[in-house]
Chains A and B, each alone.
Chain A
Amino acid sequence: MPDRGKIIDVHQLAVPGLPPTAPEQLRLTTTTDPDVPIAITVVAPATDRPETAVLTTAATLDPKLAYQLTHLETGTQWIVAPSLIGTALTVLIAAALVQNFVFTRYLGLCVFFGVSRKRDTAIGMGVTFTIVGCLSGALAWAIDRFVLGRLQLHFLQIIIFIGIIACLVQTVDTILRKVHRPLHRKFGIYVVLITTNCIILAVPLLNALNQRGFLESLALALGSGLGFALALFLMSCARERADLAPVPIVFRGLPIAFILAGLFALAFLGFSGLRV
């Protein structure tokens, strides 16, 4: 198991356990392009940590990429890669807040406006959507990786994903009805509505587009679900209040809900550019 280094700045890399070495003795590449070395200009001991060297590179480093560092004489290797959990967490928060599917990508609006009238339906939809979204995200990832990828059938993604989601939703509905009647009575209606939600299709498509691993795919599905649930809940509370307000007659109902959603989107702009 090679040691792990860490990118500390756009040009700087901290590598633990590296003795002072001349830059020519080291070879830094990305793991995807092992033939293209990245020039190292300075190797200096770190001031704040013992037995750690700080490498300065000429080119900028991307914290999202994986790098590989080899000591040419001893053959020791270091991996510099973002941690799996960290990446998953970034994806999750990005999907829930920074690029909230409803407020910044304007997806899933039909269901969003349809069920955000009352707090109870909003909570029911949010919970159901998060669970079903995770299931469909995981299933679609597996099909994409093991079937579509192997057979070079990427052009079928959209239709296959729609099929998977429809089947999955039907299955969940049937199982829930047979296994737990009261639960089905409470959440069954939302399960059926989910088929027509565009977020649930956007998640596997985005995962396939960015070639995400399983954990990241699941994080995106979970994040989109949580973000959707949050948006629904906040919106339903605000709409219950706006329903009582003396809104001009032409704006009552859906129009004021659209204006409200616009103001929510304005507020959610505050999360843009958030780094985790």
Chain B
Amino acid sequence: MTTSPQLQIAPGPHLTDGLTIPKIMWWVSASLVPVYLWAIYCFGLRVLGLTLSGIVGAALGEWLVARLRRQQSTLADGSAVLSGLLLVGTLAPGLPLWMPAVGGFVGIVFGKMLFGGLGWNIFNPALVGRAFLMASFPLAMTTTWLAPRPGILLPPDAVTQASPLNVMQLEGVTRGAELLGLGPSYYAKLLVGLRSGSIGEISVLLILFGAALLLAKGIIKLYIPLAVIAGLTSCAFFSGAPLFHLLTGGLWFGAFYMATDYVTAPIMPAGQIVFGIGIGLLTGVIRLWGGYPEGICYAILIMNAVTPALNHWFRPKRPFAEVAPS
């Protein structure tokens, strides 16, 4: 100890491990690359256009608010890019190209920047963008699912095909299972991702691969995703096709990439478990008894609204170690 560093006084946490915000954001974005490449392979190059559109919209919102507030732009930390990327993951591949930009812009401006930027938002900006698009353009958001046609990057015409959950909701469980041909080969297709659906949600295996990467890097923890899956499983038993509900929809994408957002999820593990179970149950309730075929977006938003209360209820009782009376 020859040189004593300048004495620093700052609020905790004091332990750092080099995992900075930009690193986390870019790692999460990188772990999503296989998922999006798969979507491009299945649905064609327009997915790339949608992705760029979403990212541009989100980045524009971030840049504009920082500019108007005369603050240094926070674009380089990657959080806006990640929000745009995540938003596109929840959208149907057949949407008009300008729509993700609108959603990304609204989500970032009204969901995040007006609250003071990264770290202060109550709701997940990507999901705010999706809910906004859903409320504004319900027809486009629910009818533009494309049938997967692997390898055809520039399809001359788009073939629409209802998403599996849409079929299930419209036709009921018995006829829906018949139409989709539920069985081992169909479940294998769901796992690999050969089905219609949102851009980021189709391939369970690739999402799990990305999630494993994040887990290995210590970026996400398993409390929330496992609780979400447990919550939905308990609801899915009432549906008549539990395995189907576990493998379709945005469950895996939502559980690993949306619900684990640091800012909008509770801080303590106990709160996180309650948060996750709440998301799972609400997703099941909306899917089985609600008006929408898929409910994970709204379930996460509703639980985001409960997060400040969960943080209050599950705050640590003793901030420091207890000293035994001598």
Establish whether residues A269 and B114, one from each chain, have CB atoms under 8 Å apart when the complex forms.
no
Report the stretch among A13-21, A157-165, A185-193, A260-268 that lies at the interface. Answer: A260-268
Which chain B residue shows the least CB distance to A266? Answer: B131
Name which of A41-49, A80-88, A145-153, A237-245 contacts chain B. Answer: A237-245
Q: A119-B312, A234-B306, A238-B308 are in contact. Are A275 and B289 (CB under 8 A)?
A: yes
C-alpha gap A273/B128 in the complex (Å): 20
B299 at the interface (CB under 8 A from A): yes
User: Given known contacts A240-B308, A270-B302, is B286 in contact with A263 (CB within 8 Å)?
Assistant: no
Judge if A75 is at the interface, Cβ distance under 8 Å. no
Q: Which single member of B111, B128, B134, B312 contacts A237 (CB below 8 Å)? A: B312
Closest to A262 in B: B110
B111 lies within 8 A of A263 (CB): yes
Which of A237, A241, A248 is close to B114, meaning CB atoms less than 8 Å apart? Answer: A248
**Chain B contact residue count (CB 8 A cutoff):** 35
A271 at the interface (CB under 8 A from B): yes
Residue total for A at the interface (Cβ-Cβ under 8 A): 30
**Chain B, interface SS category:** helix
CA distance A119 to B309 in the complex (A): 9
Instruction: Tell me which of B78-86, B142-150, B290-298 binds A.
Output: B290-298
Looking at the complex, which one of B116, B128, B286, B298 makes contact with A247 (CB distance below 8 Å)?
A: B116
Instruction: Name the one of B116, B282, B290, B312 contacting A245, with C-beta atoms under 8 angstroms.
Output: B116
- Would you give the 0/1 interface string for B122-141, flagging 1 where the beta carbon is closer than 8 Å to chain A? 11000010011011000000
- Please pick, from B131, B299, B309, the residue contacting A233 in the complex, using a CB distance under 8 A: B309
For residue B72, give the distance in angstroms from its CB to the closest CB of chain A. Answer: 13
Asked whether any CB of chain B lies closer than 8 Å to the CB of A276, the reply is yes
List A residues at the B interface (Cβ < 8 Å): 119, 233-234, 237-238, 240-242, 245-248, 251, 256, 259-260, 262-264, 266-276
| B residues adjacent to A (C-beta < 8 A) | 65, 69, 110-111, 114-117, 120, 122-123, 128, 131-132, 134-135, 282, 285-286, 289-292, 295, 297-299, 301-302, 304-306, 308-309, 312
